[in-house]
Amino acid sequence: MAGSAGEHWSSRFAFIMASVGFAVGLGNIWRFPYVAGENGGAAFVIIYLACAFGIGVPILMAEIMIGRRGKGSPPNAMAAVARESNRSSHWKVVGAMGLLAAYTIEIVYAGVVGWVLWYLYKAVTTGFVGVDAQVAEATFSGVLADNMGMLFWTLVGLAITGFIIYSGVKDGIERAVRVMMPAMFLLLVALATYNYFSGGFSEAIEWLFTPDFNKIGPGTVLAAIGQAFFSISVAMGGMMTYGSYLPRSISITQSVMIIVVADTLVAVLAGLVIFPAVFNYGLDPAAGPGLIFQTLPVAFAQMPAGYGFSILFFVMLSVAGITSMVGLVESVNSWAEERFSIPRHKSALIVVGSVAVLSVVSLMSYNVIGDVSMGGRNFNDIMDYFSNQILLPLGGLLIAVFAGWAMRREYSRDELAIQNGFGHKLWYLLIRFVVPPALLVIFVMGVSE
């Protein structure tokens, strides 16, 4: 094995910061608070936490454990652990599915990170002064129509990501996340504190934390299972790759608990940053992805100190976007290093370069080739459906089946090193009998949409 096989995290803090950075993406910053509010507030949050710890924690432990035991990129790690357990090395296909999911997500995600960087530039240069709903909508439409502008900012995002990957695990990823993630937490706390004094905060608290048990039904439970699974970014190869760099001295169980708690904390804090502005200025909390690019600039234009707030907000979003891109690209990069026996700097250039080329197709799907569709879906819709509805739930399901049924029990006990026997029994029970049915439901629901 080349390159990445000899690399490892220097501390648990570095591993956790990288993992949380990968897990916290642009999606769960706006999506968690919205889904929570729509599905019963605190009642949803309670169900979400049960799903996060009952489904998210066991599968995240499994993915990191397989990465560390297999000591390689996802396909090679799966194959190595399968062989050790006297199983077919064809299990490597599950690792390959994770890489394919990561790669397809990267192609579309790079463009969205480009939008965030472009809006950061707009925040610095104009501060959204005088922006109303019509101007905000026209501005975003202008962004989607400007291919050269989108390409420029997409390439800026990919260049930053590529530089971090190019520099290696310790000098690149670690050095970046040690600064970027604590900075993001501090920004979130500072922005939430500002909101506490500027209005809309009590409405946001009510939206997020007032339990409405009347809204609880099968749909709410499904939403909680989906949010718990997607928000921790498993089955994308990144966590397995990060696990392969994890020294034996670091506890997987303790680390995973911290990662899931931190991921949830960021999502809640993001809600206290975004939704006070939404309620204070009478905006639509159901605006979806458009909330960030069309709805919030209207609030920035009206709020006191909106110029500074908008800059800090898009810096925070940029950090979330870049650290997620790093995890996505690193999983593919580690495989390219091993597969072609090339040094990291060469594989980083190839992987990031190929994503840059394919992202052009993604960007053009917002305008020039937007009408070119297959089964009613354009290029971006197909990429999204293929990764989120098929590869991720199916990959997660197979990882759970592998860890619970194919991998030898003593190996998982050895890797997880849970001090008491009950802890491992509980994990084993969840990974065998709770996680697979839950992910099967997500998969069936996604495919039948």
pLDDT tens by residue, 341-389: 999 999 999 999 999 999 999 999 999 998 898 888 999 999 999 999 9
Q: Which of 73-87, 191-205, 286-300 has the highest mean pLDDT?
A: 73-87
pLDDT of 336 strictly over 50: yes
Confidence grade of residue 1 (pLDDT, cut at 50, 70, 90): very low
Q: What is the average pLDDT across 254-279?
A: 94
What distances in angstroms separate CA 212 from CA 42, 161, 242, 435, one per listed residue?
Answer: 7, 42, 39, 27
Q: Find, among 231, 239, 241, the residue nearest to 255 by Cα.
A: 239
What distances in angstroms separate CA 176 from CA 15, 154, 173, 269, one per listed residue?
Answer: 12, 19, 5, 22
Q: Find, among 209, 188, 204, the residue nearest to 49 by Cα.
A: 209
Which pLDDT does position 2 carry in this prediction?
A: 40
pLDDT tens by residue, 297-308: 999 999 888 999
Considering the chain, what percentage of its residues have pLDDT values greater than 70? 99
Which pLDDT does position 5 carry in this prediction?
A: 52
pLDDT tens by residue, 38-56: 899 999 999 999 999 999 9
Alpha-carbon gap, residue 278 to 124, rounded angstroms: 21
pLDDT of 276 strictly over 50: yes
Whether the full predicted model's pTM is greater than 0.75, yes or no, is: yes
Lowest-confidence range among 69-78, 185-194, 291-300, 414-423? 414-423
Confidence grade of residue 417 (pLDDT, cut at 50, 70, 90): confident
Contact 447, 439 (CB under 8 A): no
357 exposure class (CB count in 10 Å sphere: 0-12, 13-18, 19+): exposed
Confidence grade of residue 135 (pLDDT, cut at 50, 70, 90): very high
Confidence grade of residue 288 (pLDDT, cut at 50, 70, 90): confident
- How is domain 3-447 classified at the CATH fold level? Amino acid/polyamine transporter I (1.20.1740)
Which pLDDT does position 253 carry in this prediction?
A: 95
pLDDT of 25 strictly over 50: yes
> Can you read off the two tokens belonging to residue 269?
């804090």
